[in-house]
Amino acid sequence: MLKSTDTFNLRGDPALFVGGDWIEADDREEIELINPATEDVIGLVPVATARDVKAAISAADAAFRSWRGTLPITRSNILRKAATIMRENAEGMAQTLSREQGKIIAEARLEVQTVADLFDWFAEECRRSYGRVVESRVEGVKLHVVQEPVGPVAAFCTWNFPGLVPARKIGAAVAAGCSIVVKAAEETPGTAVHIVQALEAAGLPAGVVNLLFGNPAEISTILVDAPEIRMITLTGSTRVGKLLAKQAAATMKPAIFELGGHNPVIVFEDADIEKAVAHSAAAKFRNAGQVCLAPDRFFVHEDVHDAFVDRMVEYASELAVGEGVKDGIHMGALTNRARLDEVTRLVDNAVAKGAKLCFGGARIGNRGYFYSPTVLTDVPDEADIMQIEPFGPVAPVQKFRSLDDAIARSNSLRFGLASYVFSSSIQKIDETAAALEAGLVGANTCAVSHHEGPLGGVKESGYGREGSIEGLRAYQITKLVAHNVLS
């Protein structure tokens, strides 16, 4: 067992963090850490044992008892200091992130910056978490409505934003006065390790944040069932969301589920096509399409369909695909072999069912999980890609005629995360935004993720919100104290 040190370790080597101690593999099992651009093994991730998970729960439970009573200004200062430490180590964090996840270094740098900004944002927000005093209808009785931390939290994180996904959960928990056990993604452990190291170096008491990797189903079963754990948060697939929702319901734990989507983009005939392509193609091919908010289906009015597709193809053909850490690259590798296989299957399935391949449609090279940016048109509704989130660099385009038709198609699936609309008519935007079944709507933009705004879905894209005041409130309970001041 390694003792934690006072110095911030730049290396971000995979390790567990339980009760303030860094734990290396010793005689535990290990998972190979693969660089998706080269398929080289670049590290080994220790697998937490059931004992480690239980130790993390006990540590979080013990830490919560004192952490909940800290002044908001103390929590704020620690978050702010951790943000500063991350900024000082930003390049090392970005290199780790890009090497493990595959995204280009520019996107990795932006993500690290965003994580630091998010900690700053929570450092501010937690200082202004007010309750209220309400006059009751009984003489002499004052109603005090207070916000308290919900308790130790269990968090599960996907690999597509290895910094931002854990940071949204850790930042909110620490700010609210909760402790947290994070099961981060085994594919991309280094960035989560860096974040926890930054918090440790900033003076966060032992046990407030604990970090695990290992067998997801085994770890989640222990964590979600544990009576000490008072809240669950998952960013991941709808499939796993449903599993954890059932488990959480068994012990009445509140939860946030940030799950998958199948995000439509509606491009009306009066849209600025140059801008519509610039926004939606950038959002589509960022992180090789492995973004929960990425456009998944394009519905383009028949009058502008061909012009839109020509510009999309031009955009896709200009993207240099390669190893994310190298200069001059616009799109990196998919993060794992399973994604490469699924994207390949979805495109092949669409083409077999009659879709027209306008650009791309194949793996690039035979080493590294690279897939070409791809544009498909005339995609039939029966193609799997029109129902299953591609989570890859594929843009399926369909024509539409009327506003009602576009809205009906957009709302036809069981998902409701993000939707996008491009038009120069304020009326059309208002009407469409009101009708879309989604947690987020982008009008003439695909940038809907902001620290200041609530992020989350409807329908099978989940429930609960992250970021914004809703994201802090989710980690608090509302307690009423009825105080008889006359007695």
Q: Which residues bind ligand NAD (CB under 6 A)?
A: 156-160, 183, 185, 216-217, 220, 234-237, 240, 243-244, 258-261, 292, 389, 391, 417, 457
- Of 126, 157, 178, 292, the active-site residue reads 292
Among residues 309, 291, 481, the alpha carbon closest in space to that of 395 is found at 309
Least CB distance from residue 335 to ligand NAD, whole Å?
9
What's the one-letter identity of residue 141?
V
Closest to ligand NAD by CB, 229 vs 259, is 259
- Asked whether 112 and 93 are in contact (CB, 8 A), the reply is yes
What DSSP state is assigned to residue 22?
E
Least CB distance from residue 163 to ligand NAD, whole Å?
12
- Asked whether 188 and 138 are in contact (CB, 8 A), the reply is no
Least CB distance from residue 258 to ligand NAD, whole Å?
3
| 258 counts as catalytic | yes
Judged by DSSP in three states, 297 sits in strand
| 200 counts as catalytic | no
Least CB distance from residue 63 to ligand NAD, whole Å?
22
- Asked whether 228 and 102 are in contact (CB, 8 A), the reply is no
Closest to ligand NAD by CB, 85 vs 347, is 347
Closest to ligand NAD by CB, 201 vs 292, is 292
Distance from C-alpha of 132 to C-alpha of 146, rounded to nearest angstrom: 7
Least CB distance from residue 392 to ligand NAD, whole Å?
11
Tokens standing for residue 83: 């943000």
At residue 186, φ and ψ (nearest 5 deg) are -65, -25
Least CB distance from residue 160 to ligand NAD, whole Å?
5
- Of 107, 200, 258, 466, the active-site residue reads 258
CA-based torsion, 413, 417, 420, 426: positive or negative:
positive
- Asked whether 334 and 392 are in contact (CB, 8 A), the reply is yes
Closest to ligand NAD by CB, 89 vs 101, is 101
* Neighbour tally for 430: CB within 10 Å: 13
Tokens 């610039």 map to which residue? 278
Closest to ligand NAD by CB, 46 vs 457, is 457
Least CB distance from residue 314 to ligand NAD, whole Å?
28
Distance from C-alpha of 222 to C-alpha of 218, rounded to nearest angstrom: 7
Query: What is the per-residue DSSP string for 302-336?
Result: TTTHHHHHHHHHHHHHT--BS-TTSTT-SB---SS
| List of long-range contacts for 84-91, beta carbons under 8 Å, 24+ apart | 84/116, 84/202, 85/8, 85/198, 85/201, 85/202, 86/112, 86/115, 86/116, 86/119, 86/194, 86/195, 86/198, 87/113, 87/116, 88/8, 89/8, 89/10, 89/194, 89/198, 90/116
What's the one-letter identity of residue 428?
K
Distance from C-alpha of 456 to C-alpha of 293, rounded to nearest angstrom: 10
| List of long-range contacts for 380-386, beta carbons under 8 Å, 24+ apart | 380/350, 380/353, 380/354, 380/355, 382/353, 383/346, 383/349, 383/350, 383/353, 383/354, 383/355, 384/345, 384/346, 384/349, 384/350, 385/346, 385/347, 385/349, 385/350, 385/355, 386/297, 386/350
Catalytically active residues, by annotation: 258, 292
